[in-house]
Amino acid sequence: MSTSFATSKRRTNPDFLNGVPELVVLELLSQRPMYGYELVQAIKEASGETLEFGEGCIYPLLHKLAERGDLSSRRIDVGGRSRVVYRVTTKGHKQKAQSQAQWSQVVSSVGRILQGGKYEHAKTA
């Protein structure tokens, strides 16, 4: 009908191929509030050294999430050192649930595609 453009270029895709750090941060912080430095190591440990997001990745991410309202932050002092402790807000929990759902979708979709290869041996070459 209208001036063509039936090719809906809109973004239905999970832009979640990168956002793994975000999901992990939201999850770990929802398990227990932490400060940045702690979180960096918690990710490393909880993933069995598989995931190693540096501080240069985590700190900006925390700031972004806090600014977006998914995290609240509170500065405390412990032995002369100052820490910024982050906690997941209600909004953050919703966001987390959404991110998690998208991640699951991607994982299962990719999984199905990869599985597909296993039974494809009958393809006569």
Partner DNA sequence: GACGATACCTATTGGTTTGAGGTATGTCCA
Partner DNA sequence: TGGACATACCTCAAACCAATAGGTATCGTC
Closest CB 110 distance from DNA, rounded Å: 12
For the bound state, the minimum distance from the C-beta of residue 73 to its own copies, rounded and expressed in Å, comes to 20
Q: What is the CA radius of gyration of the chain?
A: 20
- Of 37-96, binders to DNA (CB under 7 A) are 37-38, 52-57, 59-64, 78-85
Angstrom distances, CA of residue 80 to CA of 34, 73, 76, 77: 18, 19, 10, 6
Instruction: Please compute, for residue 52, the number of CA atoms within 13 A of its CA located in the half-sphere on the CB side.
Output: 3
x/- binding map, residues 8-47, to DNA, per CB under 7 A?
A: xxxxxx-x-xxxxxx------------xxxx---------
The single residue listed with the structure tokens 């990168």 is 18
Would you count residue 100 as binding its own copies (CB under 8 A)?
yes
> Is 24 exposed, middle or buried (CB count within 10 Å of its CB: 0-12, 13-18, 19+)?
buried
For the CB of residue 1, give the shortest distance to its own copies in the complex, in Å. 24
Where along the sequence are the contacts to DNA (CB under 7 A)?
4-13, 15, 17-22, 35-38, 52-57, 59-64, 78-85
